[in-house]
Amino acid sequence: MKLYTVIWEDHHCDVTAHPFTSPEKAVAEAKRIAKKYAREESDYEEFNYGKDAGWIFYAKYSCESDSVRVVTTELDKEI
C-alpha cells in the first residue's frame, strides 16, 4: 500500500510527518500548511525538484527555508 507523507520542516519546531492514502489530499494539506504559515503571500513558492527522490510536491514558505514536501512511500516495504 502506498502512503503519501507530508513532511513539514519549520525551524521553530520539530520536523513532523503526516501520512495520507491519497496524493491529492497530501498535496492539499501541504499547500494549506505552507500558505497558513507564510508571513507574506510572496514567501510561498512551489518548486519542481526532488521528483527523482520520490517527492511529488515541494514548497518553501519563508526566507528561512521553512518548507513542506510530499513523498511517496510503501507501507511495510522490506528494505
Give the pLDDT confidence score for residue 51 in this predicted structure.
Answer: 80
Any domain includes 32? yes
Any domain includes 59? yes
Any domain includes 55? yes
Give the pLDDT confidence score for residue 58 in this predicted structure.
Answer: 96
**Whole-prediction pTM value?**
0.89
Q: For the residues of 22-39, what is the DSSP string, one character each?
A: -HHHHHHHHHHHHHHH-S
Any domain includes 79? no
8 A C-beta contact, residue 70 and residue 6 = yes
- Which cell numbers hold the place of 44? 510561498
Domain of 11 in residue numbering reads as 2-74
Any domain includes 9? yes
Q: Is residue 72 classed exposed, middle or buried when 0-12, 13-18 and 19+ CB atoms within 10 A define those classes?
A: middle
Q: How many domains are contained in the chain?
A: 1
Any domain includes 34? yes
Report helix, strand and coil shares of the chain as percent, to nearest 5. Answer: 25, 40, 35
Give the pLDDT confidence score for residue 77 in this predicted structure.
Answer: 78
- Predicted confidence (pLDDT) per residue in 3-58, tens digit: 999 999 998 889 999 999 999 999 999 999 999 999 999 999 999 888 888 899 99
